[in-house]
């Protein structure tokens, strides 16, 4: 029997049951969860007719990697057909656009929709939701890269390895016999 490969993010298999009063099996995944967040997500599930939580997974790990035990448990449950919906926040799922694409593709292949309890318009069973998830994933990656760049700059500044762009440290200073900073730019 031949099966066509699923199209990326085509969640038509599970979509009809998400809005009907039939039983919808929900997996909740959080990264660095707070007590208030857990309560909010659970109340969101309880507010949806027919929805019930079948599993909760969480990690205290970076969103830059997919090697997170809780995330892998959620994916394994999706693959086994135990979930209809995975609830999460986009930045909890991944801080990398390519990882987000990969994860949403996997969920799609397993017939599992991705939803956000915080921003309820994020629903990968709709074209608008898929677009929003991709945009938010891009913003999450941009934010992560900015934080990393700020940390590198702070580390370089604290160790004296600045690139000459920090006026409070480099004005008119000599490094390895070469003038750097403002004085070097004025002299040229």
CA nearest to 85, candidates 122, 113, 118, 43: 113
Between 13 and 174, the higher pLDDT residue: 174
Q: Which distant-in-sequence residues (6+ apart) come within 8 Å of 188 by Cβ?
A: none
Q: Which distant-in-sequence residues (6+ apart) come within 8 Å of 76 by Cβ?
A: none
pLDDT digits (tens, 9 = 90+) for 163-179: 555 444 445 555 566 66
pLDDT digits (tens, 9 = 90+) for 80-121: 999 999 988 766 777 777 888 888 889 989 999 888 777 665
Residue 5 lies in a domain: no
What separation in angstroms does the CA of 79 have from each of 26, 48, 110? 14, 24, 5
Structure tokens at 58: 């969480």
Pair 26, 65 in one domain: yes
pLDDT digits (tens, 9 = 90+) for 30-61: 988 887 888 888 898 999 999 999 999 999 98
Residue 1 lies in a domain: no
* CB-count exposure of residue 46 (10 Å: 0-12, 13-18, 19+): exposed
CA nearest to 174, candidates 159, 188, 184, 166: 184
Pair 130, 145 in one domain: no
Domain that holds residue 158: 141-187
Pair 87, 147 in one domain: no
Pair 95, 111 in one domain: yes
């Amino acid at each position: 029997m031949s099966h066509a490969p699923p199209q990326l993010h085509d969640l038509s298999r599970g979509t009809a049951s998400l809005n009907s009063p039939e039983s919808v099996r929900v997996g909740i995944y959080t990264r660095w969860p707070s007590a208030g967040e857990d309560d909010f997500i659970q109340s969101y599930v309880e507010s949806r007719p027919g929805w019930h939580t079948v599993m909760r997974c969480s990690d205290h790990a970076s969103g830059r990697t997919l090697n997170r035990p809780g995330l892998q448990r959620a994916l394994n449950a999706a693959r086994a057909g135990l979930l209809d919906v995975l609830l999460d926040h986009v930045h909890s799922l991944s801080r990398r656009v390519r990882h987000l694409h990969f994860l949403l593709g996997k969920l799609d292949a397993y017939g599992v929709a991705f939803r956000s309890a915080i921003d309820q318009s994020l629903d990968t069973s709709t074209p608008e939701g898929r677009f929003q998830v991709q945009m938010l994933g891009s913003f999450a990656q941009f934010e992560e890269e900015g934080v990393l760049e700020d940390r590198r700059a702070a580390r370089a500044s604290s160790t004296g390895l600045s690139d000459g762009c920090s006026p409070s440290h480099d004005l008119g200073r000599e490094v390895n016999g070469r003038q750097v900073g403002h004085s070097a730019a004025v002299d040229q």
